[in-house]
Amino acid sequence: MLAKREGRRGGVALASDAAQSADAEPAPVSRLQRGRPPTAARLWPDTTEQTAALRKRTRQLVLANALGARLSTITDVQEILDAAVEELNRAFGYYLCSIIRIREDGHVESAAARGEAFRELTGRRWTQPMGDGVIGRCLRERRPMIVPDVAEDPDYHHTPETTAVRCEVCVPLFVDGRLWGAINLEDIEARALEEDDARLLATIAAQVGAALRSARLYDELVRLRRTAV
């Protein structure tokens, strides 16, 4: 056994105590073991911060998967928007989750919203000029906006419902390549929203945009059928 382990041909003659000592040494690493990648535990030590980040990312993936499955069965525009903000709020409990729609009069409005700030609106639709605030900057530049602390951003303006807000993330929403609006998150703790949240919102925006396009095509198909009849 010792000869085989050391790669020798034939037997090896050793005194009994020497054989026992040699046999007690750890076996050399095999070729398979040498080529084996390091385990997750060695690459990412199990710290509280890293574990929390991993759990958050897992929840984000679960949310994206659940929302995609839910949107695939919906053809009504308002139901699509409501489903997106409901899933976001259920998964993460943001202070405000809203989908912003661009109106023809140069203003934007909240087409769907959930969260504590939404409840304070008591049924009213929030609206503002299209170019105002962080949302306006997101729509102008057509890219995600991350504001870790709104107190440090000159574009942010509080409303009566959002006086407690400390951070914001906003991503543009496109439908068939056309800018339709934006998805906006706000929270009451500074730096609570970060790049992971922006990436999640970008994924949700792509899903919502695809669902809105499908809903439009479905409506067109229904109209064509009625016209044919």
Range of the domain at 9: 2-35
Asked whether residue 25 falls in the same domain as residue 73, the answer is no
**pLDDT, tens digit (0-9, with 9 covering 90-100), for 127-137:** 899 999 999 99
- Number of Cβ within 10 Å of residue 35's Cβ equals 8
CATH of residue 147 = 3.30.450.40
Q: What's at 56, amino acid-wise?
A: K
Sign of CA dihedral 88, 92, 93, 94: negative
* 27, 90: one domain: no
| Residue 165 clears pLDDT 50, i.e. is over it | yes
**Residues 105 and 214 placed together within one structural domain of the fold:** yes
Could you tell me if residue 48 is inside a domain? no
Check whether residue 74 and residue 30 sit in a common domain.
no
- Residue 68 CA to residue 57 CA, distance in Å, equals 17
Instruction: Give the contacts of 183 (CB within 8 A, at least 6 positions apart).
Output: 84, 97, 98, 99, 100, 170, 171, 173, 201, 204, 205, 208
> Is residue 7 located within the same domain as residue 93?
no
Indicate whether 147 belongs to any domain: yes
Query: How many domains, in total, are found in the chain?
Result: 2
Determine contact, residues 135/168, Cβ cutoff 8 Å: no
Same domain, 26 and 126: no
Over pLDDT 70: what percentage of the chain?
77
Q: pLDDT digits over 77-92, tens only?
A: 999 999 999 988 888 8
Which of 25-29, 75-79, 199-203 bottoms out in mean pLDDT, i.e. has the lowest? 25-29
Give bridge partners of residue 170 from the DSSP assignment: 145, 184
Q: Do both 171 and 222 map to the same domain?
A: yes
Domain identity same for 97 and 130: yes
Residues 70, 30, single domain; the answer is no
Residue 155, in any domain of the structure:
yes
209, 92, 135, 170: CA torsion to nearest 10: -70
Contact 57, 24 (CB under 8 A): no
Please give the average per-residue pLDDT across 200-215, as a whole number.
Answer: 93
Q: Are strands 96-102 and 107-114 parallel, antiparallel or unpaired?
A: antiparallel
61 occurs within a structural domain: yes
Residues 70 and 143 in one domain: yes
Q: What share of the chain is helix, strand, coil (3-state, %, to 5)?
A: 50, 15, 35
One domain for residues 26 and 104: no
Q: Which residues contact 64 (CB under 8 A, 6 or more apart)?
A: 200, 203, 204, 207
Does residue 78 sit in the same domain as residue 22? no
In a domain, 50, yes or no: no
User: Smallest Cα–Cα separation from 134: which of 96, 86, 104?
Assistant: 96
Whole-angstrom Cα distance, residue 58 to residue 60? 5
Q: What is the mean pLDDT of residues 141-163?
A: 89
The answer to the question of residue 22 being in a domain is yes
